[in-house]
Copies of this chain bind each other. A is one copy, B any other.
Amino acid sequence: MKNTRIVLAARPDGEPADGDFRMESSSTPTLGRGELLLRTIYLSLDPYMRGRMNAARSYVDPVELGAVMVGATVSEVVESADDAFAPGDVVLAGSGWQEFAVATASQVRRLDPSVAPITTALGVLGMPGFTAYAGVTAIGKPKRGETLVVAAATGPVGATVGQIASALGARTVGIVGGAAKEAVARRFGFDAVIDRKVGELGEALDAAAPDGIDVYFENVGGAVWDAVLPRLNTYARVPVCGLIATLNGPAATSGPAHSPALMRTVLTKSLTIRGFIQDEFRESLTTSFAADMTRWVRDGQVTYLEDITSGLANAPKVFRGMLRGENLGKTIIQVGEDPTIRDRGAR
């Protein structure tokens, strides 16, 4: 069997270009003792991958030139040298942008297709959902009646943030780019939706959040942050899980930190700004997340939207579109046949 994979060919300067990726063929990896051979069904595309394409170390090491692009996958076990797994099992894995990969049992988590569609392990019941859950419940902590603002409000993190905050009794304001997304955000139940491409963002925030902003869930950065900052209330909390607006910019970990407006507002408003990645909360929140989110999804308290494109070869193009905000919901590439759909069809 042949393995098709996409490797990092060059480090992007700004927005990734076609030439930064290279599609390759190799032979399927062979199993070592206790390993599993995995066939990729779905590949998750996430903004953090853009950071991994840079040479600079962020919270994890960069992808090496010539190495397979990283990424979470939903995969099917094809061969197993571990008694705990059998061919046909569906697992959450980290195979990256390729058709086949090997992994040990400890590197995968078995999925139960009867609980929820297996794609949700990459979205609302996976990393984006957990990021939203951890940021809202452990850092943002909106109280009943407080106002929470989140941008990229139709994305897998933003939409979930809004719905969790609503479940906790907060007033929610979602910011989106474009009329199509505005309609979608309303379906997600935001109390107010702002299209940042229409009018002046600050005035729109004044209208949508007349009592000021108590929690700003930061997943975009840039101009939205500029407009939110002066509207934060005393003791406001700002969980920071991503800065997609600046991802394609120059690597900005050096250079002056000096930002008098920001630090002065931190001081005068007693703000809390708190960066986080989901790993920090894995131990403390995994159990409550699984219980709460499964219940919310089942009850319809949290809904979700998936943007699925077929074909691994489309991953670079879809990834670039996602960075430009062209996706609607959780971005997923279907790499191979989904056996749970095949099985359902056979019933």
Which residues of chain A have a CB within 8 Å of any CB of chain B? Answer: 58-59, 218, 221-223, 225-226, 228-230, 234-235, 240-243, 246, 249, 252-277, 280
Contact = CB atoms under 8 A, between A and B. Distances in A.
A265 B240 CA distance: 10
Nearest to A250: B260
A274 B237 CA distance: 9
Contacts of A240: 263, 266-267
Q: Which 6 A-B pairs have the closest CB atoms?
A: A259-B259, A252-B260, A229-B257, A266-B275, A273-B273, A267-B275
Given A241-B267, A267-B242, A225 B257 contact: yes
Contacts of A264: 243, 246, 252-253
27 contacts: A58-B268, A59-B268, A221-B263, A225-B257, A225-B258, A225-B263, A230-B257, A235-B280, A240-B263, A241-B267, A243-B260, A243-B264, A243-B267, A252-B260, A253-B268, A255-B260, A255-B261, A257-B259, A257-B265, A259-B259, A259-B262, A265-B275, A267-B277, A270-B276, A270-B277, A271-B273, A271-B274
Contact of A270 (B235, B265, B266, B275): B275
B273 A260 contact: no
